[in-house]
Amino acid sequence: MVETPRPRRTFRRPSVIPGFGISFGYTLTCLGLIVLLPLAGLVVKASGLGLSGIWDVATDPRVASALRISFGVSAIAALVASTFGFLVAWVLTRYRFPGRKLVDAAVDLPFALPTAVAGIALASLYAPDGLVGAPLARLGIQVAYTPIGIFIAMVFIGLPFAVRTVQPLIAEIDKEIEEASATLGATRIATLTKVVLPPLIPAVLTGFALAFARGVGEYGSIIFIAGNLPYVSEIAPLLIVIKLSEFDYGGAAAIATIMLGISFLTLLAINLIQAWSRRRFGYV
């Protein structure tokens, strides 16, 4: 009579590799104290205001205008960043030209360059007497201290996200698929639009969403070029800083909650895009 062995119910699958308890415990402790507890503080503060309290803050004309600017400009900037990002990614993976590696490395510049440094550099370049700002001013275009300045800064910080999300997928495209399409009589344009591009759409959308989320939250590289005129070029993160300096923690928490809520929806959208992509194309 053989008893059926009962499966051992343990939290983790048993293993001879040592150190799970200490490393897992340390991970949770750090995560809890550094990340989760402070974020929970924000949730507590925001829920203290209640939905109507948050709504009151959001409909304050200055806050509403800042939110509109942050989200609106970021969407346009993300669109431009993902369009040019796609082109850059395509050129970098598909073509060989002198200095390609250097250009490839330069794409990461906005990751490496501190945002404040980028901010003052952009501000000086696009100021009415700046290297780029002066010729534009002669054309009647003012960049600095307008939403266009915010747009420039957001494209700057969003670009690497757009490039780096599509680049690995372009590299993985099977050359034979394009050749097959060509042997079947398709023109190059038809091959690109019907065969090559459709599977890349999810990655482009993901890159767009990442650049968008980054743009909405960005502070350092924007405030110098934006000029921060209320109702014209004031972004939501700056308004948080202003509210904090006035000890209006409730108002700051409300704006942060709205921003986090929309960022969360963006992240959710990314996950849905990726889930759809996995089903449709078998990869992210």
Which residues from 130-169 bind another protein, rule CB under 8 A? 131-132, 152, 155-156, 159-161, 164-165, 168
**Segments in 11-146 forming alpha helices (H):** 20-30, 37-59, 61-94, 100-106, 109-112, 115-126, 133-138
> Is 91 among the residues that bind another protein (CB under 8 A)?
yes
The CA distance from 270 to 206, in Å, is 6
Q: Shortest distance, CB of residue 222 to another protein, whole angstroms? A: 10
Q: Which stretch binds another protein (CB under 8 A): 51-59, 71-79, 139-147, 218-226?
A: 218-226
- CA distance from start to end of the chain: 51
- Cβ–Cβ < 8 Å for 233, 145: yes
Q: How far is the CB of 73 from another protein (least distance, A)?
A: 15
Nearer to another protein, 73 or 88 (CB): 88
Helix, strand or coil for residue 282? coil
Which member of 54, 67, 77, 92 binds another protein (CB under 8 A)? 92
Q: Which of 51, 59, 61, 114 binds another protein (CB under 8 A)?
A: 114
Interface pick for another protein out of 58, 75, 219, 281 (rule CB under 8 A): 219
- CB contact set of 210 (below 8 Å; sequence gap of 6+): 158, 161, 162, 165, 270
- The residues in 20-39 that bind another protein, with binding defined as CB under 8 A, are 20, 22-24, 26-27, 30-31, 34-39
Smaller CB distance to another protein: residue 146 or 166? 166
Nearest to 234 by CA among 254, 214, 219: 219
Say whether residue 115 binds another protein (CB under 8 A). Answer: yes
Of 51-59, 107-115, 141-149, 273-281, which part binds another protein (CB under 8 A)? 107-115
- Distances in whole angstroms, Cα of residue 12 to Cα of each of 5, 8, 17, 21, 24: 18, 10, 12, 10, 11
Shortest CB 220 distance to another protein, Å: 4
Contact between 8 and another protein (CB under 8 A)?
A: yes
